[in-house]
């Protein structure tokens, strides 16, 4: 059986309805995986493929999509099934025709809906399982102290990866100092919020009715400011989005400084994933944060 026949078979079993698709239409690669649309003319699915040893990554993505979908706040693709076929790992989810148009007020709606998703809380920071950020492992074992969580599971982990990749010297020295002292910047009391976790502009779009959709998450429960910070890192979220979010659930004073602290995690991850081009930005962020503490 070919991989596609096996995937179609899995879809038939999961939905309880025979699914006999035409040839898959390749959608090219995202940042990490290759993707295809599988359709029989009546039903269509979005399928992500990668090497078999990455099945765990797809399991975690499926769990993350389900956790966000359960909040019924902002649209996410419904995950359907995952597995290994012909040596490749696959994840099947609902296909959503993205980006056709954006209705009036859609960006504001996205801000309000994200605030609603962030209201979903947990008893501690983390998640019931690890996942990935890009293709980097993201450790989510629960902790009740947010500062400790951010130190151990986020910044400290990425700094160690950077050291292993050979980024030593001042990045590590100043990074270590920041790890020891950044609690001075967290002078609010965040509640654990369900986060998308990787909310850059490429992971949000609009469905054919112009409603916001988010996908490709790195879910965990954390300070909601971490999601908002990332929306400001690479652009793609406009004033209406931020104004509507802030009206629905105002950010705490001091957010502007913590934004750098939270985005440093993603910049270190980019350094570890994509290389030296991100070193200067990581160092500048660390220096700016240290200057805020002094």
For residue 148, what are the CA distances in angstroms to 133, 144, 154, 251? 19, 8, 9, 21
Q: How near is the Cβ of 141 to ligand ADP at its closest, in Å? A: 24
Q: Quote the CA–CA distance of 214 and 216 in Å, as a whole number.
A: 7
**How many whole angstroms separate alpha carbon 156 and alpha carbon 176?**
8
201 forms part of the interface with ligand ADP (CB under 6 A): no
Cβ-based nearer residue to ligand ADP, 203 or 269: 203
Catalytic residues: 198
Kindly identify the residues of this chain, within the stretch 119-178, that bind ligand ADP according to CB under 6 A: none
* 45/11 Cα distance (integer angstroms): 9
Of the candidate residues 105, 169, 201, 202, the single one contacting ligand ADP (CB under 6 A) = 202
In angstroms, give the least distance from the CB of 184 to ligand ADP.
35
Residues 217-246 that bind ligand ADP (CB under 6 A): none
Q: Tell me how far apart the alpha carbons of residues 115 and 207 are, in angstroms, rounded to a whole number.
A: 19
Q: Should residue 6 be labelled a site residue for ligand ADP when binding is judged by CB under 6 A?
A: no
User: Rounded to 5 degrees, what are φ and ψ at 43?
Assistant: -115, 145
Q: Is 147 helix (H, G, I), strand (E, B) or coil?
A: helix
Position of tokens 């240290």? 290
Residue among 46, 82, 90, 278 that touches ligand ADP (CB under 6 A): 46
216 binds ligand ADP (CB under 6 A): yes
Q: Are 144 and 116 in contact (CB under 8 A)?
A: no
- Residue 117 CB, nearest distance to ligand ADP (Å)? 17
Between 30 and 169, name the residue whose CB sits nearer to ligand ADP: 30
- In the complex with ligand ADP, the residue whose CB is nearer, 91 or 226, is 91
Residues 87-116 that bind ligand ADP (CB under 6 A): 93-96, 98
Query: Of 118-126, 200-208, 239-247, 275-283, which segment contacts ligand ADP by CB under 6 A?
Result: 200-208
C-alpha triplet 213, 216, 220: angle, nearest 5°: 100
C-alpha dist (Å) from residue 262 to 5, 58, 78, 102, 110: 43, 25, 28, 29, 21
Q: How far is the CB of 215 from ligand ADP (least distance, A)?
A: 4
> How far apart are alpha carbons 86 and 47 in whole angstroms?
15
Minimum CB distance to ligand ADP, residue 163 (Å): 27
What part of residues 13-42 is at the interface with ligand ADP (CB under 6 A)?
27, 30-33, 35
**Centroid of chain to Cα 137:** 12
Size of residue set near ligand ADP by CB under 6 A: 18
Binding site for ligand ADP (CB under 6 A): 27, 30-33, 35, 46, 77, 93-96, 98, 202-203, 205, 215-216
């Amino acid at each position: 059986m070919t991989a596609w026949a096996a995937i179609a078979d899995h879809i038939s079993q999961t939905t309880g309805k025979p699914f006999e698709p035409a040839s898959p239409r390749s959608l090219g690669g995202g940042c990490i995986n290759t993707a295809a649309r599988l359709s029989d003319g009546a039903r269509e699915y979005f399928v992500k493929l990668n090497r078999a040893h990455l099945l765990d990554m797809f399991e975690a993505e499926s769990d993350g999509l389900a956790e966000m979908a359960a909040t019924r706040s902002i649209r996410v693709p419904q995950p359907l099934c995952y597995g290994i076929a012909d040596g490749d790992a696959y994840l099947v989810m609902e296909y959503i025709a993205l980006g056709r148009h954006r209705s009036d007020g859609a960006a504001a709606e996205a801000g309000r809906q994200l605030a609603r998703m962030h209201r979903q809380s947990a008893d501690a920071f983390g998640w019931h399982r690890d996942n990935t950020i890009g293709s980097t492992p993201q450790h989510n074992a629960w902790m009740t102290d947010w500062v400790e969580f951010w130190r151990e599971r986020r910044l400290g982990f990425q700094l160690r990866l950077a050291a292993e990749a050979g980024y030593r010297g001042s990045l590590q020295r100043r990074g270590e100092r920041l790890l020891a002292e950044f609690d001075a910047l967290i002078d609010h009391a965040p509640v654990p919020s369900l986060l998308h976790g990787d909310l850059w502009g490429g992971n949000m779009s609009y469905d054919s009715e112009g409603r916001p959709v988010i996908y490709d998450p790195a879910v965990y429960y954390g300070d909601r400011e971490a999601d908002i910070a990332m929306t400001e890192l690479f652009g793609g979220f406009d004033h209406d989005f931020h104004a509507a979010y802030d009206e629905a659930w105002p950010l705490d004073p001091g957010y502007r400084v913590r934004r750098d602290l939270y985005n440093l995690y993603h910049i270190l991850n980019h350094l570890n994933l994509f290389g030296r081009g991100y070193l200067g930005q990581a160092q500048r962020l660390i220096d700016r944060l240290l200057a805020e503490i002094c």
